[in-house]
Amino acid sequence: MTTFDKLYIGGAWVASDSSKTIEVIDSITEEVMATVPEGTASDAARAVQAAKAAFGSWAATPAEERAKFLTRIGDALGARMDEIATAISKETGMAKWLSEFVQVGLPINSFNQAAALASSYQFEEPSGTSLIVREPIGVVACITPWNYPLHQIAAKVAYALGAGCTVVVKPSEVAPIDAFILADIINEVGLPAGVFNLVSGTGPEVGEALANDADVDMVSFTGSTRAGRRVSQLGAETVKKVALELGGKSANVLLDDLDEAAFAKAVGDGIGKAFLNSGQTCSALTRMLVPRDRMAEAEAIAAGAVAGLKVGDPFAAGTHLGPLASAAQRDRVQGYIQKGIDEGATLVAGGLGKPEGVDVGFYVRPTVFSNVSRDMTIAQEEIFGPVLSILPYDDEEDAVSIANGVVYGLAGGVWSGDKDHAIAVAKRLRTGQVEVNGGAFNANAPFGGYKQSGNGREYGKFGFEEFLEIKSLQL
């Protein structure tokens, strides 16, 4: 077991004001793998003051110099890829081979892209008789989730630092180890004291303290819609900027012009997109919309695809799906599977209980429901596990109506034999990102949601600009 006994505040490892600790549970063995400090509101306040004190000099540091720090951080993450991926696979359950590519590779990309943007971005531009200046917003509180822990930290921290902001990070208590490794790296590369601060703890204690602190200029939050509402409420007290990346219930629309081979490809791809990270993905395509007369075809393909998935130890060769991140998450997903059965959906694959061959670990069976109506609980609420709902539709208007008929709007997919047709339908979906015919995820494209999936965007130029204020000088 690893013990992290200090917080990172003001460029130094310091003791928390509390002696309490949080146990980090290995999702595979269900045993304690580490402990971290259970930080307090006073710890959060100290970190904010450190970030505030560092802001002026960091904002005045030439962007090219800030970029050099970001590049060094990215390089150091790469050097510790195995260590970080191993920790995250134990925390979240993601297969180790995928953790290296996603859980560490994407954060490296964020630091490198933020460095490139900081070096090339035009912070000033003339507009008529004015000079438009973009300046760092100030102290940013970064509150992050457990499903892609380092990726979500990097999406905020890298771009905020590149823009000239200083940060306080509150990682998820379920998966905080990568945040401590990142702090260690930042300490080693010599980032000026107070520019980056880390306070572990719970949302109600540390998270709320940060959102409510008058010296925090912006909160960047990723997590549940319920928690995002609370962050917004607290942030409104001081009228600070709040950027939110929240839940999703994304639709994958298979149009009726797909031939047999393309339809099979679309269903198979959709299974993978729904079950990525054992379904613990906010942008997972968890609703598959299929022409009513092709439901049986979709069910057969889906059942075959699920039968071919290997569920088990994330460190074993060939594993597709590991456990969920916690006992609470496992129980939550089991509850939704029971709800699907109770409300009359057709169980195509999976179901209640653990997969065969695993006795320990927070595992659930990858599950597919069919004949799901748009008003069923499993068609409306985010499950955050490997559960796919297949919904029938009657025509294209019906498909678009069903796709848009949830409170969320984070991601989506459209498949068609005619790419232009797919694009036209994609433009009708009220959602922040849409895959067209299985288009690959672009880590530098803007990512964020409509409706109750949040506001603001992350990654690339749009993510960089989230951390900038706009000032106009009248000349």
Q: What is the pLDDT of residues 321-363, one digit of tens each?
A: 999 999 999 999 999 999 999 999 999 999 999 998 899 999 9
Same domain, 278 and 242: no
Alpha-helical segments (H) within 193-256? 208-212, 225-236
Query: What's the mean per-residue pLDDT of the chain?
Result: 97
CATH of the domain at 153: 3.40.605.10
| Residue spans of beta strands (DSSP E) within 72-127 | 124-127
| C-alpha span between 396 and 399 (Å, rounded) | 5
Please tell me which residue in 100, 173, 208, 245 is annotated as part of the active site.
245
Look up the domain containing 355 and give its range: 251-443
Same domain, 207 and 256: no
Same domain, 179 and 275: no
DSSP character at residue 256: T
245 three-class SS: strand
| C-alpha span between 299 and 143 (Å, rounded) | 39
Asked if residue 211 belongs to a domain, the reply is yes
Asked if residue 59 belongs to a domain, the reply is yes
pLDDT, one tens digit per residue, over 141-162 is 999 999 999 999 999 999 999 9
Same domain, 301 and 423: yes
Asked if residue 431 belongs to a domain, the reply is yes
| C-alpha span between 315 and 301 (Å, rounded) | 28
Q: For this structure, is 245 an active site residue?
A: yes
What is the rounded average pLDDT of the residues 180-196?
98
pLDDT, one tens digit per residue, over 290-332 is 999 999 999 999 999 999 999 999 999 999 999 999 999 999 9
| C-alpha span between 222 and 242 (Å, rounded) | 11
- Is the pLDDT reported for residue 190 higher than 90? yes
Give me the pLDDT at residue 115, please.
Answer: 98
Residue 60, sorted as left (phi over 0), alpha (psi -120 to 50) or beta, turns out to be alpha
Same domain, 23 and 44: yes
Q: Is the dihedral of CA 253, 258, 263, 269 positive or negative?
A: negative
pTM, 2 dp: 0.96
132 three-class SS: strand
DSSP character at residue 347: E
Give me the pLDDT at residue 1, please.
Answer: 86
Contact 130, 475 (CB under 8 A): yes
| C-alpha span between 136 and 138 (Å, rounded) | 6
Provide the token pair at 34.
């580490």
Same domain, 317 and 439: yes
Asked if residue 194 belongs to a domain, the reply is yes
Give me the pLDDT at residue 357, please.
Answer: 87
Provide the token pair at 235.
């942030």
Asked if residue 287 belongs to a domain, the reply is yes
Dihedral pair phi/psi, residue 78, rounded to 5°: -60, -40
Q: For this structure, is 282 an active site residue?
A: yes
Contact 240, 219 (CB under 8 A): yes
Alpha-helical segments (H) within 282-412? 295-307, 327-342, 377-380, 396-403
Provide the token pair at 5.
């006994």
Same domain, 118 and 229: yes
pLDDT, one tens digit per residue, over 378-436 is 999 999 999 999 999 999 999 999 999 999 999 999 999 999 999 999 999 999 999 99
What is the rounded average pLDDT of the residues 364-387?
98
| C-alpha span between 88 and 98 (Å, rounded) | 11
12 HSE (CA, 13 A, CB side): 6
Asked if residue 448 belongs to a domain, the reply is no
Same domain, 183 and 96: yes
Same domain, 144 and 217: yes
Going by pLDDT thresholds of 50, 70 and 90, the confidence category of residue 219 is very high
Same domain, 240 and 255: no
- Is the pLDDT reported for residue 37 higher than 90? yes
Same domain, 92 and 209: yes
Please tell me which residue in 142, 205, 282, 435 is annotated as part of the active site.
282
The CA-atom distances, in angstroms, between 126 and each of 117, 122, 438, 465 are 20, 11, 41, 18
Going by pLDDT thresholds of 50, 70 and 90, the confidence category of residue 274 is very high
Asked if residue 398 belongs to a domain, the reply is yes
In the chain, how many domains are there? 2
CATH of the domain at 270: 3.40.309.10
pLDDT, one tens digit per residue, over 103-146 is 999 999 999 999 999 999 999 999 999 999 999 999 999 999 99
Going by pLDDT thresholds of 50, 70 and 90, the confidence category of residue 441 is very high
- Scan for tokens 């459209």, then name that residue: 414
Same domain, 298 and 332: yes
Contact 44, 213 (CB under 8 A): yes
- Is the pLDDT reported for residue 70 higher than 90? yes
Alpha-helical segments (H) within 237-307? 260-275, 295-307
- Is the pLDDT reported for residue 260 higher than 90? yes
Give me the pLDDT at residue 422, please.
Answer: 98
Give me the pLDDT at residue 256, please.
Answer: 97
